[in-house]
């Protein structure tokens, strides 16, 4: 990897991101939700609502952003031009990841300020947040590497957003807490992040770590598949 | 001869289909080599093998002293310029932003970008978004992108396909300038005028096989016949062999007021291609 080339791709993609209405407006989604929740009144916002905003930001900006950018490069044949330059695939992915990480951070900070998030951020909860970010980033990169068009990304994005981003919403769809779907959702990553604000942190962290490892395996498989497709 | 590109009995299979059937070519430093052939003849496959996008199934491939196994190295990539029929630009970004990206990736000076833009006459369009440019302008920007790092070898796959004559002329002028600087150029084309104007050597590629190769002039010489074609006012034509025995007939035709056109059979490159392959170049 080369810092100069990563920064060149970061600068190019930052411009592309801000000029792409579809991508740029995703930043507003968590902010609008945060604004709505902050108007609900009452005591401090529960962790579940805060993490719902985190889930929305990570799935709609971090995951969807990198997925869409990669798919668009594929669709418009610009990725071939980058691959024929001295930039490696890792330089390209790093440059793009920096853009979506920056945009997600901006959106989350504004959302947290609007919601006036009051609870303590322990090392475990911050670590959990980083693992969750890596999970969504890896999934976004993996899908982006395997799809050929922006339109195809929505096939992947909708289930990813619903299952991993809007996880607490599943409780509204399946109200029975003993239902097997509800018992399965207890193992989804976002619930581990919520649990990290309780007393037990080891198990949720291990489950989160397992999800992140699975996402790394997925992105490694997608990367190898992509690179083997490049030279046949 | 300082050989920059060597292809030796190169074969390429896609499943059961054989796209290249043992191609052998050597290209010298500073030479402009044209690969001529109809669609599906193997031109793009050859370029893809040379640029490392595809690997050969059999045979020896060497560019700038490197074998194809090391074509993915950064140093090799830096020494190539590539303009293919599916090269693309970032439409939302300006010309300046597009070229700035590749200038930074290749670590090239801004003055070089200014120079190549001036060479293709687009220096006044630097702040325009690519989506607002014509097809011909985009193609010229793509050529700028391919040459701004001063590559040692330039691969051009159909560089003027479907472009207007003005743009084609501008691209040819730039390529002749690049050629004069000693860059080795390999181009594929359907366009015989382009091949005649630019190439030192042309090779006819048909069904994955090189059927003939040489300078445009030598190929035309090799395939000329000894016939004289006479066209008469009423639209009829007559072909006479240029021999001593036919001298009186030829002299008569020369002074015949009904003969409106007399020409020797000196085939164009397209006609030579048809003679060699039995196919039109489309």
- B69-122: per-residue pLDDT in tens? 888 788 888 899 999 877 899 999 999 999 999 999 999 999 999 989 988 888
Shortest CA distance to A55 belongs to which of A99, A94, A107?
A107
Residue A175 predicted with pLDDT over 90? no
Set out the domains of chain B in order of their start, with CATH numbers.
3-213 (3.40.50.300), 225-265 (no CATH)
How much of chain B, in percent, has pLDDT values that exceed 90?
A: 43
For residue A81, the chain B residues in CB contact (below 8 A) are 87-89, 102, 145
Chain A: residues touching B (Cβ < 8 Å): 4-5, 7-9, 11-12, 15-16, 19-20, 76-78, 80-82, 84-88, 230-232
Residue A117 predicted with pLDDT over 80? no
pLDDT value, residue B6: 94
Q: Kindly determine whether residue A76 and residue B91, on different chains, have CB atoms separated by under 8 Å.
A: yes
Give the distance from CA A170 to its chain's centroid. Answer: 18
Q: Kindly determine whether residue A8 and residue B82, on different chains, have CB atoms separated by under 8 Å.
A: no
Residue B226 is given by DSSP the state S
Q: Kindly determine whether residue B105 and residue A87, on different chains, have CB atoms separated by under 8 Å.
A: yes
Q: Which of A4, A78, A86 comes nearest B77 by C-beta? A: A86
For residue B146, the chain A residues in CB contact (below 8 A) are none
For residue B104, the chain A residues in CB contact (below 8 A) are 4-5, 7-8, 11
Preferred mutation among A23, A81, A150, A226 to probe B, highest tally of B CBs within 10 A: A81
- Using pLDDT thresholds of 50, 70 and 90, give the confidence band for residue A169: confident
Residue A41 predicted with pLDDT over 70? no
ipTM of the assembly?
0.82
Q: Kindly determine whether residue B54 and residue A231, on different chains, have CB atoms separated by under 8 Å.
A: yes
Of all residues in chain B, the one with the smallest CA distance to A86 is: B74
Preferred mutation among A20, A85, A89, A92 to probe B, highest tally of B CBs within 10 A: A85
pLDDT value, residue B16: 86
- Using pLDDT thresholds of 50, 70 and 90, give the confidence band for residue A229: low
Q: What's the per-residue H, E or C state across chain A?
A: CCHHHHHHHHHHHHHHHHHCHHHHHHHHHHHHHHHHHHCCCCCCCCHHHHHHHHHHHHHHHHHHHHHHHHHHHHHCCHHHHHHCCCCCHHHHHHHHHHHHHHHHHHHHHHHHHHHCCCCCCCHHHHHHHHHHHHHHHHHHHHHHHHCCCHHHHHHHHHHHHHHHHCHHHHHHHCCCCCCHHHHHHCCCHHHHHHHCCCCCCHHHHHHHHHHHHHHHHHHHHHHHHHHHHHCC
Of all residues in chain B, the one with the smallest CA distance to A17 is: B92
Structure tokens at A201: 């942190």
For residue A84, the chain B residues in CB contact (below 8 A) are 51, 53, 77, 80, 82
Q: Which of A16, A77, A82 comes nearest B92 by C-beta? A: A16
Q: Measured between CA atoms, how close is A9 to chain B, in angstroms?
A: 7
pLDDT digits (tens, 9 = 90+) for B214-256: 988 888 888 888 888 899 999 999 888 888 888 888 888 889 9
Q: Measured between CA atoms, how close is B77 to chain A, in angstroms?
A: 6
Rounded mean pLDDT, A135-154: 92
Q: Are strands B80-83 and B3-14 parallel, antiparallel or unpaired?
A: unpaired
Q: Kindly determine whether residue B101 and residue A8, on different chains, have CB atoms separated by under 8 Å.
A: yes
Rounded mean pLDDT, B127-147: 92
Residue B132 predicted with pLDDT over 70? yes
pLDDT value, residue A212: 95
Shortest CA distance to A167 belongs to which of A49, A64, A61?
A49
B134/A contact by beta carbon, under 8 A = no
B74/A contact by beta carbon, under 8 A = yes
Rounded mean pLDDT, A56-60: 94
Q: Measured between CA atoms, how close is B125 to chain A, in angstroms?
A: 19
Residue-averaged pLDDT of chain B: 89
Shortest CA distance to B80 belongs to which of B64, B97, B93?
B64
How many CB atoms sit inside 10 A of residue B202's CB? Answer: 27
For residue A9, the chain B residues in CB contact (below 8 A) are 101, 105
pLDDT value, residue A43: 66
Q: Kindly determine whether residue B55 and residue A231, on different chains, have CB atoms separated by under 8 Å.
A: yes
Residue-averaged pLDDT of chain A: 88
Residue B282 predicted with pLDDT over 70? no
Residue B1 predicted with pLDDT over 60? no
Residue A231 predicted with pLDDT over 60? no
pLDDT digits (tens, 9 = 90+) for B197-216: 899 999 989 889 998 899 88
Residue A52 predicted with pLDDT over 60? yes
For residue B90, the chain A residues in CB contact (below 8 A) are 12, 16, 78
Residue A232 predicted with pLDDT over 60? no
Residue B136 predicted with pLDDT over 60? yes
For residue A7, the chain B residues in CB contact (below 8 A) are 104
Rounded mean pLDDT, A26-50: 82
Q: Kindly determine whether residue A81 and residue B91, on different chains, have CB atoms separated by under 8 Å.
A: no
Q: Which of B55, B107, B145 comes nearest A232 by C-beta? A: B55
Q: Measured between CA atoms, how close is B73 to chain A, in angstroms?
A: 8
- In chain A, domain spans: 3-230
Tokens 């630019």 map to which residue?
A: B198
pLDDT value, residue A137: 95
């Amino acid at each position: 990897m080369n810092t100069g080339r990563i920064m060149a791709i970061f600068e190019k993609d930052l411009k592309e991101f801000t000029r792409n209405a579809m991508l740029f407006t995703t930043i507003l989604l968590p902010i609008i939700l945060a604004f709505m929740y902050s108007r609900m009144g009452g005591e401090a916002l529960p962790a579940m609502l805060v993490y719902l905003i985190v889930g929305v930001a990570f799935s709609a900006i971090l995951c969807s952003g990198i997925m869409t950018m990669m798919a668009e490069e594929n669709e418009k044949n610009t990725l071939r031009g980058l691959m024929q330059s001295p930039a490696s695939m890792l330089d390209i992915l790093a440059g793009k990841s920096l853009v979506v990480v920056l945009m997600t951070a901006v959106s989350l900070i504004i959302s947290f300020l609007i919601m006036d998030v009051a609870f303590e951020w322990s090392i475990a909860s911050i670590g959990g947040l980083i693992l969750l970010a890596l999970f969504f980033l890896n999934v976004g990169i993996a899908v982006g590497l395997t799809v050929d068009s922006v339109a195809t990304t929505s096939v992947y994005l909708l289930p990813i957003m619903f299952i991993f981003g809007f996880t607490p919403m599943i409780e509204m769809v399946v109200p029975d807490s003993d239902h097997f779907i509800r018992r399965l959702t207890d193992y989804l990553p976002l619930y581990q992040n919520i649990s990290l604000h309780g007393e037990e942190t080891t198990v949720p962290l291990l489950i989160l770590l397992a999800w992140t490892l699975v996402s790394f395996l997925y992105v490694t498989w997608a990367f190898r598949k992509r690179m083997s497709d490049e030279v046949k | 001869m300082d050989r920059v590109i060597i292809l030796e009995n190169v074969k390429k299979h896609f499943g059961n289909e054989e796209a290249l059937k043992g191609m052998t070519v050597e290209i010298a430093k500073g030479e402009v080599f044209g690969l001529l052939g109809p669609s599906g003849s193997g031109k793009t496959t050859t370029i893809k093998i040379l640029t490392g996008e595809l690997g050969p199934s059999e045979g020896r491939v060497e560019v700038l002293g490197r074998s194809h196994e090391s074509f993915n190295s950064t140093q090799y990539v830096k020494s190539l310029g590539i303009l293919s029929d599916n090269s693309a630009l970032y439409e939302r970004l300006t010309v300046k932003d597009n070229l700035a990206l590749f200038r930074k990736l290749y670590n090239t000076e801004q003055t070089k970008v200014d120079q190549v833009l001036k060479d293709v006459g687009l220096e006044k369009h630097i702040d325009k978004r690519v989506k607002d440019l014509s097809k011909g302008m985009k193609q010229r920007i793509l050529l700028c992108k391919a040459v701004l790092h001063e590559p040692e070898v330039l691969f051009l796959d159909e560089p003027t396909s479907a472009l207007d004559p003005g743009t084609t002329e501008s691209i040819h002028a730039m390529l002749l300038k690049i050629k004069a600087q000693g860059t080795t150029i390999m181009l594929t084309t359907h366009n015989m005028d382009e091949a005649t104007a630019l190439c030192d050597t042309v090779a006819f590629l048909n069904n994955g096989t090189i059927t003939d190769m040489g300078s445009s002039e030598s190929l035309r010489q090799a395939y000329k016949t000894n016939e004289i074609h006479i066209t008469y006012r009423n639209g009829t034509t007559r072909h006479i062999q240029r021999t001593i025995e036919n001298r009186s007939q030829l002299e008569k035709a020369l002074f015949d007021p009904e003969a409106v056109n007399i020409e020797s059979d000196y085939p164009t490159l397209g006609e030579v291609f048809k003679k060699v392959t039995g196919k039109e170049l489309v």
